[in-house]
Structure 1
């Protein structure tokens, strides 16, 4: 019992350290990614803090499994490096006894993450989207990143060299207007501002000191100069009405909600399949009713009319079949997306247990308990795991593999590897060179890992 508590303490302290370190990395990455849109734009600091807090939810889902692997490698690598594993074997104590408390602790983390994914994460994702919509709705120019085309507004591509502190003033503006068929209009202006009109139904962009270049069909071209020009654009993309529960995406739904939507779509899918059978069977088996074909007028004009009508009916039937096939493909994609998301809410938490089973033998076999060694090995398996997970998600969404295989293949592969290595580590006392893993890590990361190892 004392030995089990000792191993648990060796695991728990590195776990807390890893959680703190990885959270810091993710938060810095988030701030770097959105700094251009949030910092120095006149947004209330409380809103920025609130946005960071909501984004901590998805970070938690990634940080916990990653921290389990790092902590396991440090704990069992340290035990092996200090010859404590050898002493335990010499005392006649089974190595498997050391695993009891870490497994119990990890199962608790699995349960916590499943609950978190189901109850907390969907609402946090939804509130994050709502907050971004609210910020964008009050300051539409926030969607414009300097020197990057903004194409959120249908029919328009907007480029601004600078967005000033109040976030509604633009400098050196260029707009490509493709909203009118057959006509391309390019507007340039030294400055401008972007706001909603009074009823918020349109976006109003006031441009100052600029030109309008308009080119249409048949070499038509017109150039106009202006001191001030007002441009009205559709504001549907920024409508506050979108911020409702009705617009929740798959990442904003709990497992019961995902299953409910999937089941309802499966019923619609079955109805479309039945419609498809009804439409397609006559093409393969003829008219099953056995009705006689309508009499055809033997005259030239009569036969032409009859053929024209028949062609029209056949084309109408083909169009209906094509529409039904398109609907079936869309429904299948949506069903796959909901099923994949539901499976992912289980597979990522279970990865905690998988990483524990993998980290125990790897730590014992590498005999390195430092953070640098744990970081290098962990980075290799993180990249492998997320490559399988992301690739499986994309393949499952497209229907190329089943959602179950797409979401669980990485867990099964690494779990099998972990069990095999654990058997080898306990029975044969095998070792692994650390260089096996570092050679697969990008060169820009190797120096930092080596520096940490040396320290």
Structure 2
């Protein structure tokens, strides 16, 4: 019991440390990606905090399996470096027994992660999507790109040669106004300012020094040109108003639990069976040639041939239509089943990574974060290459969703079991001299000085 507690305790701190570091990396990447959509919108702090919290859900799903591998490598690497593995083996405790505590812990983590994937992760994804859609409507100038027409405002096309985000100022503005058909107004101005009214129901374009060109498609001989020094245009601003949406409405495949997606798949399968019957019926019609046409002119078969050809074309069009519907439904089923399998395959990866991390940590005899991160990175790349490749192939109906998603776990699981058997039977040590030999001597000396200090 003391040994079990000791092994688990060696895993806890590296696991928490790896979680914090990896989440921080993902969070930094997220903030860098969406910073331009958040800065300068006058959002309350609580809104930004909500957005970050909601997006932590997908980060947790990816981070936890990674952290398990890093923690296992560090824990067994430390114990091997301190000769604790050798002492336990000399005491009659095999590597198989040493791996039982982290293996049981990984199973518990996998069960919790399955619950998280089905109950918390979908709702968080749904809330994050709604909140991001609400935020993108907050500031009108952020939808304007200098030199590019924007049609975000209904019935208007807006072009500005220069956009100053901080002050909402626009330079060399051109506006096409289609709000009053059949008339078309073209407004040009040297400069302007765009802002929302206090109730955020209208978008005001405050323009200075420009012209209004007005034409009517029903009165082509009439053309008006007005010059102004100051002109305001009121536009609808529903798409720029920040009103936090309430949860509800349609959800994507990553915004539902496995049970919900399986229910949708079951419904699609029922529709698919009806399409399959229709498909088989059309095949039978083509094979059996049940046209039942009676010629008007019995002395000539020309009429029969024409009608038969028309009927065949109709059958071919109907055949193609049903085939397209079957193909679409099959891809939809695959898309949902890929997400269903991912909700269970990623948690199971925690168990697989323990099988890999324990023997590799013992073999490397290094428990530092550098060594653990380097080895982990290799297996992460392999795992995600299998997972992403399998997902794409399954979405395209080239392989089954089960094979596409679970192949990574199966492959790495077999590798882990083989490494575990080999390490348990004999003492195997991995050294990286072929890498260290290529490191410049000046780097080595500086590293040695740091270690000595």
TM-score bucket (shorter structure) = 0.7 to 0.9
Change in CA separation of 1:292 and 1:126 when aligned onto 2, cut-off 3 Å: closer
Alignment partner of 2:115: what SS? helix
Deviation for aligned residue 1:229: 9.8
Matched, 1:132 2:132: yes
Deviation for aligned residue 1:425: 0.8
Q: Which residue of 2 aligns with 1:382?
A: 380
- Of residues 344, 347, 353 in structure 2, which corresponds to 1:346? 344
Deviation per CA, 1:383-419: give whole Å up to 9, x if none: 1111111111111111111000111000011110001
Deviation per CA, 1:241-286: give whole Å up to 9, x if none: 9976341000000111010001001111111111112223222232
Matched, 1:65 2:65: yes
Change in CA separation of 1:329 and 1:292 when aligned onto 2, cut-off 3 Å: closer
CA distance in 1, matches of 2:158, 2:406: 41
Matched, 1:372 2:375: no
Q: Which residue of 1 aligns with 2:359?
A: 361
Deviation for aligned residue 1:16: 0.8
| Match runs of 1:210-229 below 5 Å | none
Alignment partner of 2:428: what SS? coil
Q: 1:195–1:204: 8 Å Cα contact kept in structure 2?
A: yes
Q: 2:125–2:254: 8 Å Cα contact kept in structure 1?
A: yes
Deviation for aligned residue 1:432: 2.3
Deviation for aligned residue 1:225: 10
Q: Which residue of 2 aligns with 1:444?
A: none
Alignment partner of 2:163: what SS? strand
Q: Which residue of 2 aligns with 1:15?
A: 15
CA distance in 2, matches of 1:272, 1:280: 12
Q: Which residue of 1 aligns with 2:255?
A: 252
Q: 1:144–1:160: 8 Å Cα contact kept in structure 2?
A: no
Alignment partner of 2:92: what SS? coil
CA distance in 2, matches of 1:109, 1:149: 51
Deviation for aligned residue 1:9: 0.8
Q: Which residue of 1 aligns with 2:423?
A: 425
Q: Which has the larger radius of gyration?
A: 2
Q: Which residue of 2 aligns with 1:218?
A: none
CA distance in 2, matches of 1:251, 1:354: 24
Q: Which residue of 1 aligns with 2:165?
A: 164
Alignment partner of 1:293: what SS? coil
CA distance in 1, matches of 2:302, 2:118: 66
Q: Which residue of 1 aligns with 2:95?
A: 95
Alignment partner of 1:369: what SS? coil
Q: 1:65–1:352: 8 Å Cα contact kept in structure 2?
A: yes
- Please, which runs of 5 or more residues in structure 2 have no aligned partner? 178-185, 214-224, 437-442
CA distance in 2, matches of 1:350, 1:66: 12
Q: Which residue of 1 aligns with 2:264?
A: 261
Instruction: Single out whichever of 277-286 and 49-58 deviates more from structure 2.
Output: 277-286
Matched, 1:30 2:33: no
CA distance in 2, matches of 1:298, 1:241: 74
Instruction: Single out whichever of 238-247 and 359-368 deviates more from structure 2.
Output: 238-247
Alignment partner of 2:50: what SS? helix
Deviation per CA, 1:57-102: give whole Å up to 9, x if none: 1111111111000000000011111111111122222222212221
Matched, 1:395 2:396: no
Q: Which residue of 2 aligns with 1:415?
A: 413
Matched, 1:285 2:288: yes
Q: Which residue of 2 aligns with 1:220?
A: none
Deviation per CA, 1:344-400: give whole Å up to 9, x if none: 000001111111111001111111110000010011111111111111111111111
Deviation for aligned residue 1:144: 5.2
Q: Which residue of 2 aligns with 1:181?
A: none
TM-score (norm 2): 0.78
Alignment partner of 1:295: what SS? coil
Q: Which residue of 2 aligns with 1:122?
A: 122
Deviation for aligned residue 1:330: 1.4
Change in CA separation of 1:272 and 1:39 when aligned onto 2, cut-off 3 Å: same
Alignment partner of 2:117: what SS? helix
CA distance in 2, matches of 1:195, 1:257: 41
CA distance in 2, matches of 1:2, 1:241: 53
Q: How many residues in Structure 1 have an aligned counterpart in Structure 2?
A: 418
CA distance in 2, matches of 1:311, 1:235: 55
Deviation per CA, 1:178-235: give whole Å up to 9, x if none: xxxxxxxx99876564879x998xx97959578999xxxxxxxxxx998779798998
Change in CA separation of 1:187 and 1:28 when aligned onto 2, cut-off 3 Å: farther
Instruction: Single out whichever of 96-105 and 352-361 deviates more from structure 2.
Output: 96-105
Q: Which residue of 2 aligns with 1:53?
A: 53
RMSD, aligned α-carbons: 4.2
CA distance in 2, matches of 1:239, 1:310: 62
CA distance in 2, matches of 1:60, 1:312: 60
